[in-house]
Amino acid sequence: MTNYQSEKQAVRAFHKALDAASGEALETVVQQHLAPGHLWRGYHPFGEIADVSQIATRFWAPLKQALRPMQRREDIFFAGSNHMDDCKSTWVVSMGHLMGLFDQPWLNIQPTGKMALLRYCAFYKVQDGVIAETSMYFDIPHLMVQAGQNPFGPQTAAHLVQPGPITHDGLLYDEQPKNEGRKTLAVINKMISDLGQWQSGLPLEEELALTWHDDMIWWGPEGIGASYTIERYAKQHAGPFRASFADRSGTGHIARLAEGNYGGFMGWPNFTARHTGGFMGMPATNEVGEFRVIDIYRRSGDKLAENWIFIDLLHFWKTQGVDILERATKIRPAPAS
């Protein structure tokens, strides 16, 4: 049984080289650390990129030009065997913020001349010492709000720059006890079974209490926001969300893993649902939409305590016929002095 240390080292070496590189050196870094034929999945408008050089030229180079000098502020790092392929593959997860001075436009989001943080979470599939596949979600609407270009308007929960775990122990660079990871994966699987189909028959707060602590924190994406306690999470997100959708598909993940007290999953998409009620202040479309989601969890004891969520809401709304990014960036505030 692997201890995942070599896979972690491969990702940490990539991050170190990537964070130090700029300009043409970025392409050299990605070619050295990413396998030929690498598949990169990213938040809208990037989608899938299958050319290694384009990962550098389309994503990293423009982003690092806009936020500079870029600093990686990592809050959670862990690895594990993939539950979705009978543990045949190993994945490494990194979550935190990319920070810099927002001095140049990015995706037509206008710069502020001030520091800004881009929330991110990346799942890396590591094979034979190199990264074979990446899924990286980043909260573009959260960056837009920092730049004064709110794409969504009021949200049901709180807008925050989101911290890491309250325990400050999310960076699992060293080997972890295997049994702790099994416990974490078990409670995540139970949560998916209990909550993932919206069919338990229990009142929502009782359903949540099966796998969540009462003082849980749901660190949701911009457009929805963060909620504290089961009662407020049910009121501010889970209840309104369920009321807005019907015909929810089953749950589909590409990767699901855990190590120590941390775990998570990623899908492309995780599920589909028909938008039959108002959501995020916008009217129903009666169209089926895709939800591409990354969820990261911290377990405490036998239940979940914290959850960081990345939902590609720009992609979801594009499936509903609304290009939020294009609409929001047409309104450009005056450059900051």
**pLDDT value for 111:** 97
pLDDT digit string, tens, across residues 224-283 = 999 999 999 999 999 999 999 999 998 999 999 999 999 999 999 999 999 999 999 899
**pLDDT value for 198:** 56
- pTM, 2 dp: 0.95
Extract the tokens encoding 289.
């939409």
**pLDDT value for 270:** 96
- Give 306-309 contacts, CB < 8 A, sequence gap 24+: 306/165, 306/166, 306/216, 306/217, 306/219, 307/216, 307/217, 307/218, 307/219, 308/76, 308/95, 308/121, 308/162, 308/219, 309/218, 309/219, 309/220, 309/221
Q: Give the domain ranges of the chain.
A: 5-146, 178-325
Rounded average pLDDT over 145-150: 93
**pLDDT value for 199:** 58
Angle at 271 between CA 266 and CA 272, to 5 degrees: 145
Rounded average pLDDT over 305-331: 93
Tell me the β-bridge partners of 91.
Answer: 80, 125
Helix (H, G, I), strand (E, B) or coil at 18: helix
Indicate whether 331 pLDDT > 60. Answer: no
In sequence order, which residues have a C-beta less than 8 Å from that of residue 318 and are 6 or more positions away? Answer: 44, 324
**Residue 334 pLDDT class (50, 70, 90 cuts):** very low
**pLDDT value for 335:** 47
Instruction: Say if 5-146 and 178-325 have the same CATH topology.
Output: yes
| Rounded percentage of the chain residues whose pLDDT exceeds 90 | 89
- CATH number for 178-325 (one of 3.30.70.1350, 3.40.50.10420, 3.10.20.30, 3.10.450.50): it is 3.10.450.50
Extract the tokens encoding 150.
């709110």
**pLDDT value for 155:** 86
Q: Token match 């591409």: residue?
A: 292
Q: Note the Cα 279 to chain centre separation in Å.
A: 20
| Rounded percentage of the chain residues whose pLDDT exceeds 70 | 96
**pLDDT value for 153:** 83
**pLDDT value for 292:** 98
**pLDDT value for 202:** 84
The per-residue DSSP string of 267-316 comes to -SSSEEEEE-S-BTTB-----EEEE-EEEEEEEETTEEEEEEEEE-HHHH
In sequence order, which residues have a C-beta less than 8 Å from that of residue 218 and are 6 or more positions away? Answer: 157, 226, 227, 228, 233, 237, 307, 309
Q: Phi/psi at 330 (nearest 5 deg)? A: -75, -25
Extract the tokens encoding 225.
């926001």
- Domain 5-146 classified CATH 3.40.50.300? no
Rounded average pLDDT over 54-77: 97
- CA 110, CA 81: separation in Å to the nearest integer? 41
**pLDDT value for 336:** 47
Looking at every residue in the chain, the average pLDDT score rounds to 94
Rounded average pLDDT over 136-162: 92
